[in-house]
Amino acid sequence: MTLVPPIENSPNASQGEAFKALLCKAIDKRRNFAIISHPDAGKTTLTEKLLLYGGAIQQAGAVKARGEQRKVTSDWMELEKQRGISITSTVLQFKYQGITINLLDTPGHQDFSEDTYRTLAAADNAVMLEDAAKGLEPQTRKLFEVCRMRNIPIFTFINKMDRPGQEPLALLDEIESELNLSTWAVNWPIGSGELFRGIIDRRTQEVVLFERGERGKQSSEIRKNINDPELKALVEEELLIKAIEEIELLEEAGSKMDLELVQAGELTPVFFGSAMTNFGVGPFLDTFLEMAQGPAARNSSEGPINPSRETFSGFVFKLQANMDPRHRDRVAFVRICSGRFEKDMTVKHARTGKQIRLSRPQKIFGQDRAVVEDAYPGDVIGLNNPGMFSIGDTLFQGKHIEYEGIPCFSPEIFSWLRNPNPSAFKNFRKGVNELREEGAVQILYDTDQSKRDPILAAVGQLQLEVVQHRLENEYGVKTRLEPIGFQVARWVSGGWPALEKIGRIFNCKTVQDCWLRPVLLFKNEWNLNQLKEDHPDLELKAVAPVVSGMNPVNL
């Protein structure tokens, strides 16, 4: 690829214009998204099918049973092993119809952690995947809330239509009433389960027939106009009439399609299909590309930064240690927000003010690494991280900017971290502080100063295991976990004064986070709701912003 010099080095205006045109074209041709779903909804299967369309893998086939292995490895790593293909475990890039698509992995199953939430901070669009039989499930709801905070467009794919499921109208109603999100069905199913016959494309008024092919084989896409007399022989009349009547109901009482509302995250286009049989995936991808937003502007200390700002900027959204046991390395994943990234470029690290030369940027494909020559807004690159980067750090060229930090998400698992060996305290402290800084886990402190041990607070159990493992392997400290039976945490908006005002609270433990803000821990949602009822004026938050202009308190 011919590299056009960045604007700052441009010897003349026309080269500057050429660069601007190149940048705008690259932005225009990029889309990124993350899939939000509950385990088993079919994320791995859908990912595999999307890769097929992008030509990233050649062979179709259902994802094999993963049994016990699923418990210890990430979905994508697993997929990679099963299929013998090379895909990254953080971001998957593929091209489809001239568009570069970045699919960001949201770790699920045992890998569910704060990283899952943080990944959504780097995504411009989300695909909400539901199992037609189960509807909305807990993990999907939590991830949806994180998307809602940034109002990113949400595209809903209702999967497993080849199996008996809930009534489609009930599924839409659940999304509307429980998520407060309007829906617009792009297609509508004809029958379900054994009687699933296909979908009606509402925009073209065509019936796309479902063929129950061999398991995992791509089904052919036969389209017929809804008035085609041949349909009678292919689809039971009562099923077709029911689908048409339901669509009429939607036309009368449902929301209208409005792209502006889609892009504002207020209206979700809904698709019915079956990832396993590859039914509806291609049309979904086509419509997604038509409606999804491109790399979006991001809030910073200098206001929103447009991707077409000519100088490079980006932020770290994920740090991963020991991705490959052979390398024992740490990688910082950077979402590019503006300008063009080039290999060997020197950037400024906003938090420390240091200049850094990014000499070994990588795209990480499972076990293999490819050096990135250049990358654009919406892309993700991996940087070797010798302890320099923290979650939320901004890298930039040109005028100083700092992107809004990635907030702290409500932890659900809490445990005292004990250090049985007092002579190892120095290393214990160093390890705990560094791992917190890295974002491996949140650290809470007891309000009683005499209880010096930190409380580890995590979103997923694996986070605690990783912290213990790394403390032992990287800092030489063997630790003991002592679980505390709380499951819900809330920050108090009004801080300590608000808490003092209401006095003693029962069935709740008050601790403080690393910015010394009060955090309330509850055994269950019921206790939380009790407090809300007793003190309706007390404002509690499940997500807390990072505190700028103040250093967090270390152990």
Q: Which is nearer to ligand G4P, 115 or 162 (CB)?
A: 162
Residues in contact with ligand G4P by CB under 6 A are 37, 39-45, 62-65, 75, 159-160, 162-163, 274-276
Pairwise CA distance, residues 22 & 486, whole Å: 52
| Least Cβ distance, residue 63 to ligand G4P (angstroms) | 5
E runs forming strands in 265-410: 267-272, 313-321, 330-338, 341-342, 345-349, 355-358, 362-365, 368-371, 374-375, 380-384, 394-396, 408-409
Alpha carbons within 13 angstroms on the beta-carbon side of residue 382 total 23
Cα-Cα-Cα-Cα dihedral sign, residues 11, 12, 18, 19: positive
> Which of these, 354, 430, 365, lies nearest to 389 by C-alpha position?
354
Residues across the chain: 555
Q: Which is nearer to ligand G4P, 288 or 486 (CB)?
A: 288
| Least Cβ distance, residue 379 to ligand G4P (angstroms) | 24
| Least Cβ distance, residue 16 to ligand G4P (angstroms) | 46
What is the DSSP secondary-structure string of 51-84?
HHHHTS-----PPPP-GGGGGTS-HHHHHHHHHT
Q: Which is nearer to ligand G4P, 384 or 461 (CB)?
A: 461
* β-pair partners for 395: 314, 349
* CA 407 distance to own-chain centroid: 14
| Least Cβ distance, residue 76 to ligand G4P (angstroms) | 9
| Least Cβ distance, residue 44 to ligand G4P (angstroms) | 3
Q: Which is nearer to ligand G4P, 51 or 471 (CB)?
A: 51
| Least Cβ distance, residue 4 to ligand G4P (angstroms) | 40
- Distances in Å between the Cα of 160 and the Cα atoms of 129, 164, 449, 508 are 10, 8, 53, 41
Q: Which is nearer to ligand G4P, 78 or 114 (CB)?
A: 78
Q: Which is nearer to ligand G4P, 272 or 522 (CB)?
A: 272
Residue with tokens 């385990």: 39
| Least Cβ distance, residue 60 to ligand G4P (angstroms) | 13
CB atoms within 10 A of CB 441: 27
Q: Which is nearer to ligand G4P, 125 or 159 (CB)?
A: 159
For residue 509 the two structure tokens come to: 């433990």
| Least Cβ distance, residue 460 to ligand G4P (angstroms) | 15
Q: Which residues contact 194 (CB under 8 A, 6 or more apart)?
A: 164
| Least Cβ distance, residue 217 to ligand G4P (angstroms) | 13
Q: Which is nearer to ligand G4P, 62 or 85 (CB)?
A: 62
> Which of these, 20, 89, 95, 24, lies nearest to 289 by C-alpha position?
95
For residue 174 the two structure tokens come to: 């659940």
Q: Which is nearer to ligand G4P, 274 or 463 (CB)?
A: 274
